[in-house]
């Protein structure tokens, strides 16, 4: 399937896929309803937003950045979408507006990070908090409930017995796989993440790539906002509170290096499924859901630890930057000078 | 092909602050020729290369390429004209494949703007053939390649762009013998094809072997130009040395104690230095001269407890140091003023006062560990005056001072308590002559008060001006000691270049 010279996922991603398979096997043995059609459908419906938001998160983490504001942006978009469908605006127009709002908010992040050079974690921490206040203000202390089921069919209607939303997610993943692999923009994400200085020296416009990445990430959150409304039929003030943590966890569990420069969408998708299946298992086993956060936190720690161990081995193998090559020193000693 | 002029520099000068890095440099490169540039660290080689490659701009001077005057304002301009540079430490994307490293930033695209991987692969295979690397290398991660092969990939990148002038900046300093041989064979082949090469190195034997012309730089000036048949090792050394040695301020002094205060026995650290033994007496200045990368700074950092040694030992006042750490060193009175003020020395966001007192806060505190601000102020005031640090307000940021005054702050930081052993790594780099002499005076005064000084410097006149003995380093080994009575620039330089065994 992959030509050897086309960039492809590394061994770290296969580790996540293997763990995912083991997890599925475990739950299908020990949890009765796990493999039931209803449960699998639920997994697909519930993981859709996380799955696509994690694409944008993968982009910015490969760049060496992060985006904490995804949950707040999701909230703002969902409220706008909710109000628009209540007023009976054309669904296609609503979709375009949702993506446009998401992109504009992402663009603000991008400009703060790319132009003003504010560290991504601080920039998006700030915009996240501003965004949460906006969500609170827009809702005015009430739920936005009883929304007309304009977008609900993407969750409930099925093709070959599979919810439509699954195909939407698959389509977006395919599109971004193409961007990550076949567009110079996608490859430059990796270049900037690995060696920002060298990226400048080969004439890559890092500022532009960064701004664009955060904007695209915002646009994807716009689509996730529609999925949220379709799934819930309402918007509450705590919307998307868990989203940044879960998306970052999915990306990191999927093998993307938190230091940037390495990672893939295949890994991210595996990471998303890993987290969703785990959450599902917790519910089936009747574990109190407050443990969910603790487990996700633990998984982040384990994944990053694995990365550190792998990196140490790589550096040991590569051992560059020393004044003398070992081989040379040996030769010098043999020649006796 | 040869004989035709490809590239000329006329009257190129460049200053950084008040320091003249290059003065009126002229040179001419013919097509298909290797022109080598020889000089010590700090002679201006790197500045010259960066100007040609567009990473720096000259203050004055003209550049001509193929008979036309050109302006090189940035690295892209240089690439467009046909100039490629391979820096000493390869600047690569370790996490990307070799194929991507060859093309990143200038990918081959289809008409839809997608990356044309098959076409790129085809072109890359051709490029790798030029440097004799197997095609399968293209699929490997750049970071998994040896440094030598990474360098070859970068050369291939330059050749693929049809570069007419290839600059190699000390390429063999990180290569093994076998890799160097491979590089020389490649250079010969490139010459055949009409590519000109600017070769920077301080390894005289290899320069004599591969060059058609040689230029010797000293203190930013061209001191001699040789063609291949005129050049000899002796003539090159003479052109590299021959400076005025200032013996004006050196004073003979009696050592406080004939027993060394610190003694290093057979110290080794894999890939850095090997079998290092020396000792310093109280009141003695031991100079260390060697090229950057010869292991001298690493030895100093090991002495200070920052790096761990693989084998050997350090004796302090006759007792072996076990569990040596920087903390331990400071408690014993072994202090280190690092090479790089910016990253290893300064607390750049803080005041002069903070920078001065940082190392000895405990001595300015009472028995409960509470800092006595009055004491701190008094001690610092005294230091500022004693070492004539030129500042109006010690609450100003340290980076508001000139380089020379910053260095005085970092030095006097350690002088709040009298040091026993003071390690100075490049104490006057980038500092104006006036301040330099002040620092030299200070070093001599410290030695007179019984401090053992280890003075590391790339500035040979400086080492010769101050040292009682000079220890020369070459490729991680000591190549000799020179006493004050038989110190000549020529002799020390030869030892540091590894020319006398």
Q: What are the pLDDT digits (tens) for B373-390? A: 787 888 778 777 777 777
Residues of A in contact with B93 (CB under 8 A): 190-191, 194-195, 198-199, 261
**Residue A208: domain span:** 11-310
Is residue A317 less than 8 Å (CB to CB) from chain B?
yes
The answer to whether residue A332 is domain-embedded is: no
Within 108-137 of B, beta carbons closer than 8 Å to A belong to 109, 113-115, 117-118, 120-121
pLDDT value for A327: 38
pLDDT band at B414; cut points 50, 70, 90: confident
Of B175, B178, B476, nearest to A329 by CB-CB distance is B476
Average pLDDT of span A313-331: 48
pLDDT digits (tens, 9 = 90+) for A198-209: 888 787 889 999
More confident residue, A316 or B410: B410
pLDDT band at A333; cut points 50, 70, 90: very low
* Contact yes or no for B456/B424 (Cβ under 8 A): yes
Q: Which range scores top for mean pLDDT: A167-176, A255-264, B34-43, B150-159?
A: A167-176
Task: Identify how many contiguous H helices and E strands chain A contains and give both numbers.
Answer: 14, 2
* Per-position b or e across B114-150, b if 16+ CB within 10 A of its CB: bbbbeebbebbbebbebbebeeebbeebbbebbbbbb
CA distance B197 to chain A (A): 21
Of the listed ranges A17-26, A110-119, B245-254, B413-422, the least confidently predicted one is B245-254
The answer to whether residue A166 is domain-embedded is: yes
Q: Is pLDDT above 60 for A98?
A: yes
Is residue B500 less than 8 Å (CB to CB) from chain A?
no
Q: Please give the residue of chain A at the shortest CA–CA distance from B148.
A: A325
Which ranges in A36-194 belong to alpha helices (H)?
37-62, 70-86, 91-114, 120-139, 153-156, 164-182, 184-194
Is residue A335 less than 8 Å (CB to CB) from chain B?
no
Average pLDDT of span B268-273: 86
pLDDT value for A62: 96
Check B298 against A323: CB less than 8 A apart. Answer: yes
Topology given in CATH for the domain delimited by B5-240: Rossmann fold (3.40.50)
Question: In terms of Cα–Cα distance, which of B283, B317, B334, B279 is closest to B449?
Answer: B283
The answer to whether residue A108 is domain-embedded is: yes
- Residue A288 in tokens: 């109190």
Q: State how far the Cα of B125 lies from the Cα of B415, in Å rounded to an integer.
A: 60
pLDDT value for A337: 33
Q: Which range scores top for mean pLDDT: A285-294, B134-143, B229-238, B352-361?
A: B134-143
Check B295 against A324: CB less than 8 A apart. Answer: yes
Is residue B174 less than 8 Å (CB to CB) from chain A?
yes
Is residue A116 less than 8 Å (CB to CB) from chain B?
no
pLDDT digits (tens, 9 = 90+) for B248-262: 778 777 776 778 899
Check A187 against B100: CB less than 8 A apart. Answer: yes
Q: Which range scores top for mean pLDDT: A59-63, A296-300, B470-474, B476-480?
A: A59-63
Within 282-321 of B, beta carbons closer than 8 Å to A belong to 293-295, 298
Q: State how far the Cα of B25 lies from the Cα of B63, in Å rounded to an integer.
A: 11
Q: Is pLDDT above 70 for A322?
A: no
Three-state DSSP class for A257?
Answer: coil
pLDDT value for A328: 40
3-state percent breakdown (helix, strand, coil) of chain A, nearest 5: 75, 0, 25
Q: State how far the Cα of A197 lies from the Cα of A191, in Å rounded to an integer.
A: 10
Is residue B67 less than 8 Å (CB to CB) from chain A?
no
The answer to whether residue A325 is domain-embedded is: no
- Write the CA distances from B406 to A79, B207, B305, B343, integer angstroms: 57, 39, 24, 13
pLDDT value for A1: 40
CA distance B91 to chain A (A): 6
Of A187, A194, A325, nearest to B174 by CB-CB distance is A325
pLDDT value for A97: 97
* Contact yes or no for B420/B334 (Cβ under 8 A): yes
Is residue B80 less than 8 Å (CB to CB) from chain A?
no
First to last CA, chain B: 41
Q: Please give the residue of chain B at the shortest CA–CA distance from A262.
A: B95
Of B75, B104, B293, nearest to A187 by CB-CB distance is B104
Q: State how far the Cα of A35 lies from the Cα of B364, in Å rounded to an integer.
A: 70
Three-state DSSP class for A282?
Answer: helix
Q: State how far the Cα of B30 lies from the Cα of A114, in Å rounded to an integer.
A: 44
pLDDT value for B256: 67
Across chain B, what does the average pLDDT equal?
85
The answer to whether residue A323 is domain-embedded is: no
More confident residue, A209 or B417: A209
Average pLDDT of span A277-285: 86
Average pLDDT of span A226-242: 93
What's the ipTM?
A: 0.81
* Contact yes or no for B240/B218 (Cβ under 8 A): yes
Q: Which helix or strand (DSSP H or E) is residue A230 part of?
A: helix A206-232
Q: For domain B254-333+419-501, give the CATH number.
A: 3.40.50.300
Q: State how far the Cα of B159 lies from the Cα of B86, in Å rounded to an integer.
A: 11
Q: Is pLDDT above 60 for A330?
A: no
* Contact yes or no for B427/B443 (Cβ under 8 A): yes
pLDDT value for B338: 83
Q: Could you tell me where in chain B the CATH 3.40.50.300 domains are found?
A: 5-240, 254-333+419-501
pLDDT value for A180: 94
Residues of B in contact with A187 (CB under 8 A): 96, 100, 104, 107, 115
Is residue B177 less than 8 Å (CB to CB) from chain A?
yes
CA distance A309 to chain B (A): 16
Q: Is pLDDT above 60 for A325?
A: no
The answer to whether residue A328 is domain-embedded is: no
Q: Which helix or strand (DSSP H or E) is residue B37 part of?
A: strand B34-38
Average pLDDT of span B192-201: 90
Check B271 against A203: CB less than 8 A apart. Answer: no
Is residue B171 less than 8 Å (CB to CB) from chain A?
no
User: What is the edge-to-edge ordering of all strands in the sheet holding B262-269?
Assistant: B273-280, B262-269, B311-316, B319-320
Check A329 against B274: CB less than 8 A apart. Answer: yes
- Write the CA distances from A190 to A264, A320, B47, integer angstroms: 10, 21, 31
Q: Is A192 left (phi over 0), alpha (psi -120 to 50) or beta?
A: alpha
More confident residue, B221 or B415: B221
Residues of A in contact with B498 (CB under 8 A): 337
Of the listed ranges A147-151, A275-279, B193-197, B414-418, the least confidently predicted one is B414-418
Check B143 against A193: CB less than 8 A apart. Answer: no
Is residue A334 less than 8 Å (CB to CB) from chain B?
no
pTM beyond 0.90: no
Check A323 against B293: CB less than 8 A apart. Answer: yes
pLDDT value for B500: 65
Q: Residue B364: CB partners within 8 Å, gap ≥ 6?
A: B357, B371, B372, B375, B376, B379
Three-state DSSP class for B323?
Answer: coil
Of A7, A203, A327, nearest to B97 by CB-CB distance is A7
Q: Is pLDDT above 90 for A108?
A: yes
pLDDT band at A326; cut points 50, 70, 90: very low
Q: Please give the residue of chain B at the shortest CA–CA distance from A259.
A: B95
Contacts A–B by Cβ distance under 8 A: 122
Is residue B501 less than 8 Å (CB to CB) from chain A?
yes
Is residue A204 less than 8 Å (CB to CB) from chain B?
yes
Instruction: Count the domains in chain A.
Output: 1
pLDDT band at A320; cut points 50, 70, 90: very low
| Percent of chain A residues topping a pLDDT of 70 | 92
Of the listed ranges A103-107, A156-160, B144-148, B356-360, the least confidently predicted one is B356-360
CATH of the domain at A40: 1.10.3470
């Amino acid at each position: 399937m992959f030509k050897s010279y086309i960039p492809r996922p590394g061994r770290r991603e296969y580790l996540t896929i293997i763990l995912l398979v083991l997890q599925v096997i475990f739950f299908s043995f020990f949890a009765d309803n796990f493999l039931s059609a209803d449960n699998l459908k639920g997994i697909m419906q519930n993981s859709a937003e996380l799955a696509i938001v994690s694409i944008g998160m993968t982009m910015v983490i490969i760049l060496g950045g992060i985006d904490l504001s995804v949950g707040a942006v999701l909230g703002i978009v969902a409220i706008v979408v909710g109000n628009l469908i209540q007023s009976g605006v054309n669904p296609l127009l609503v979709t375009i507006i949702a993506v446009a709002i998401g992109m504009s908010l992402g663009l603000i992040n991008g400009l703060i990070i790319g132009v003003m050079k504010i560290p991504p974690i601080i920039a998006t921490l700030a915009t996240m908090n501003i965004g949460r206040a906006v969500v609170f203000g827009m809702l005015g202390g009430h739920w936005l409930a009883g929304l007309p089921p304009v977008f609900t069919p993407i969750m409930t209607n099925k093709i070959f017995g599979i919810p439509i939303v699954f195909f939407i997610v698959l389509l977006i993943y395919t599109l971004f796989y193409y961007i990550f692999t076949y567009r110079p923009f996608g490859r430059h994400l990796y270049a900037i993440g690995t060696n920002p200085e060298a990226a400048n020296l080969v004439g890559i416009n890092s500022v532009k790539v960064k701004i664009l990445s955060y904007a695209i990430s915002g646009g994807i959150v716009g689509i996730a906002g529609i999925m949220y409304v379709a799934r819930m039929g309402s918007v509450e003030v705590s919307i998307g509170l868990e989203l940044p943590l879960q998306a970052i966890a999915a990306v990191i569990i999927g093998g993307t290096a938190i230091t940037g420069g390495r990672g893939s969408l295949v890994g991210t998708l595996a990471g998303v499924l890993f987290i969703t299946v785990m959450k599902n298992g917790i519910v089936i086993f009747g574990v109190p859901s407050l443990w969910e956060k603790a487990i996700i936190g633990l998984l982040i720690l384990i994944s990053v630890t694995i990365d550190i161990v792998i990196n140490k081995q790589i550096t040991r193998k590569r051992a560059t930057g020393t004044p003398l090559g070992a081989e040379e020193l040996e030769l010098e000693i043999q020649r006796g000078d | 092909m040869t004989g035709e002029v490809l590239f000329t520099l006329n009257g190129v000068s460049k200053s950084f602050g008040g320091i003249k890095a290059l003065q009126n440099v002229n040179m001419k490169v013919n097509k298909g020729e290797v022109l080598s540039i020889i000089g010590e660290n700090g002679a201006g080689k790197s500045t010259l290369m960066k100007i040609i490659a567009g990473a720096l701009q000259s203050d004055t001077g003209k550049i001509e390429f193929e008979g036309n005057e050109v302006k090189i304002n940035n690295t892209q301009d240089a690439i467009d004209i046909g100039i490629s540079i391979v820096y000493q430490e390869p600047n690569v994307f370790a996490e990307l494949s070799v194929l991507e490293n060859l093309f990143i930033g200038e990918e081959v695209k289809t008409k839809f703007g997608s990356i044309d991987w098959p076409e790129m692969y085809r072109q890359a295979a051709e490029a790798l053939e030029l440097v004799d690397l197997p095609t399968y290398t293209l699929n490997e991660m750049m970071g998994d390649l040896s440094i030598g092969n990474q360098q070859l990939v970068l050369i291939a990148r330059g050749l693929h762009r049809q570069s007419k002038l290839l600059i190699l900046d000390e390429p063999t300093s990180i290569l093994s013998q076998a890799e160097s041989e491979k590089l020389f064979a490649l250079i010969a082949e490139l010459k055949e094809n009409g590519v000109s090469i600017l070769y920077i190195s301080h390894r005289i034997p290899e320069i004599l072997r591969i060059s058609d012309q040689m230029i010797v730089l000293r203190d930013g000036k061209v001191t001699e130009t040789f063609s291949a048949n005129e050049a000899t090792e002796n003539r090159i050394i003479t052109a590299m040395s021959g400076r005025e040695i200032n013996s004006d301020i050196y004073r003979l002094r009696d050592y406080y104690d004939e027993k060394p205060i610190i003694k290093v026995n057979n110290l080794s650290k894999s890939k850095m230095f090997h079998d290092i033994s020396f000792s310093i007496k109280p009141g003695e200045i031991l100079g260390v001269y060697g090229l950057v990368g010869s292991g001298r700074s690493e030895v100093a950092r090991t002495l200070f407890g920052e790096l761990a040694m693989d084998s050997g030992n350090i004796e302090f006042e006759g007792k072996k140091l076990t569990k040596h750490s920087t903390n331990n060193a400071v408690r014993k009175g072994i202090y280190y003023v690092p090479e790089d003020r910016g990253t290893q020395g300064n607390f750049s966001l803080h005041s002069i006062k903070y920078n001065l007192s940082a190392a000895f806060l405990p001595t300015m505190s009472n028995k409960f560990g509470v800092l006595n601000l009055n004491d701190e102020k008094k001690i610092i005031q005294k230091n500022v005056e004693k070492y004539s640090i030129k500042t109006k307000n010690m609450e100003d940021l340290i980076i508001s001072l000139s380089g020379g005054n910053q260095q005085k702050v970092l030095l006097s930081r350690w002088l709040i308590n009298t040091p026993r052993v003071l390690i100075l790594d490049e104490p006057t780099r980038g500092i104006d002559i006036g301040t330099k002499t002040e620092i030299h005076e200070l070093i001599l005064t410290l030695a007179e008060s019984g401090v053992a000084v280890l003075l590391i410097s790339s500035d040979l006149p400086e080492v010769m001006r101050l040292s009682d003995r000079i220890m020369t380093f070459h490729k991680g080994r000591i190549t000799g000691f020179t006493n004050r009575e038989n110190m000549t620039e020529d002799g020390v330089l030869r030892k540091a270049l590894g020319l006398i065994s």
